[in-house]
């Protein structure tokens, strides 16, 4: 497996450490990551995390803009400037910084959700609400696609 999949909920221990799910650690090892790259999500009250695949995504996004352009500089600052490299201890745990926990509203539990090339770290109740809304939107999209499938021009009949 070379993608982050599934959802896991873990507790922070008394020292503020959380175990990265074993399947995620396997992907990070295959990816050659030397730590866990983590930054506040730009779109959600959650954290984006991963290894070299996440860094490649950030590089590709920034490369869409001319070097030294305002867009390029702002994306680099927002993504690399807020990123932290978290050390994974021998037991597969990391310590989330107070800044990262505050952004995601994390207190005593953490939910990991796989997004393929990266994963997101959420406060579990926020993830539950997010997944309910995402499921609703996907169902609407499926209905919209289904209604267009019978009409080759893509217009409503």
Query: Does pLDDT of 155 surpass 60?
Result: no
Task: Give the Cα separation of 118 and 106 in Å (integer).
Answer: 19
Dihedral (CA of 129, 117, 3, 143) sign: positive
Does pTM surpass 0.85? yes
- What number is the average pLDDT over the span 22-45? 95
- Kindly report the backbone phi and psi dihedral angles of residue 107, in degrees, each rounded to the nearest multiple of 5, phi listed first: -120, -70
Q: What is the mean pLDDT of residues 91-95?
A: 97
Domain ranges of the chain: 7-123
Q: Tell me how far apart the alpha carbons of residues 61 and 38 are, in angstroms, rounded to a whole number.
A: 16
Per-residue model confidence (pLDDT) at position 74? 97
- The correct answer on CATH 3.40.50.1000 for the domain covering 7-123 is no
């Amino acid at each position: 497996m070379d993608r982050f999949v599934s959802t896991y909920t873990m507790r922070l221990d008394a020292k503020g450490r959380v175990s990265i799910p074993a399947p995620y650690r396997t992907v990070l090892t295959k990816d050659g990551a030397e730590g866990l790259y983590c930054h506040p999500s730009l779109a959600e009250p959650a954290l984006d995390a991963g290894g070299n695949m996440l860094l490649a995504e950030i590089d590709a996004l920034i490369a869409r803009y001319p070097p030294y352009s305002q867009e390029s500089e702002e994306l680099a600052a927002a993504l690399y400037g807020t990123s932290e490299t978290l050390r994974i201890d021998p037991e597969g745990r990391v310590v989330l910084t107070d800044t990262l926990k505050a952004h995601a509203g994390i207190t005593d539990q953490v939910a990991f959700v796989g997004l393929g090339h990266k994963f997101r770290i959420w406060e579990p109740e926020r993830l539950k609400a997010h997944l309910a809304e995402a499921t609703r939107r996907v169902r609407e999209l499926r209905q919209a696609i289904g209604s267009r499938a019978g009409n080759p021009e893509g217009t409503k009949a």
